[in-house]
Amino acid sequence: MSETAAEGVTVSERAAKRIGEILKAEPEGTMLRVSVEGGGCSGFQYKFDMDRAKADDDLVIARDGAVVLIDPVSVNFMSGSEIDFVEDLIGASFKIKNPNATASCGCGTSFAL
């Protein structure tokens, strides 16, 4: 597994930097968990949580001090995606560029397949 890509999911340099900054303020061993859940205005939504426990079947992506965990079910929905961090006039947030999504909402956290 490469540092930046696994199972076709990548973490951009900007996202890795921001995740690393966030994790520095958390207890030692904390990782960012990204998951896909049913709901949101388009059918599925991304969820971001801090987690200190890694499951045996989690996908682990490590880059520049950032560690991201993704469960196997969520990986199926996110294959080929890039986790990015963007700053614009309305604020800063993590965005997932998912080539599998056929539609998404304006907030960028909800999508349809």
Q: What was the pLDDT predicted at 84?
A: 95
DSSP type of residue 27: P
User: Tens-of-pLDDT digits for all 113 residues of the chain?
Assistant: 334 445 689 999 999 999 999 999 999 999 999 999 887 666 888 899 999 999 999 999 999 889 999 999 999 999 999 999 999 888 888 989 988 887 666 555 555 56
Judge whether 12 lies within some domain.
yes
DSSP state of 1: -
* Residue 78 maps to a domain: yes
CA angle 99, 3, 108 (to 5 degrees): 30
Domain with 102, as residue range(s), is 5-107
* 53 domain-assigned: yes
**Domain count across the chain:** 1
CATH number at residue 25: 2.60.300.12
Question: Does 112 map to a domain?
Answer: no
Q: Is residue 18 part of a domain?
A: yes
Q: Is residue 113 part of a domain?
A: no
Q: pTM for the whole thing? A: 0.83
Tell me, yes or no, whether 39 lies in a domain.
yes
Q: How far apart are CA 64 and CA 3, in angstroms?
A: 9
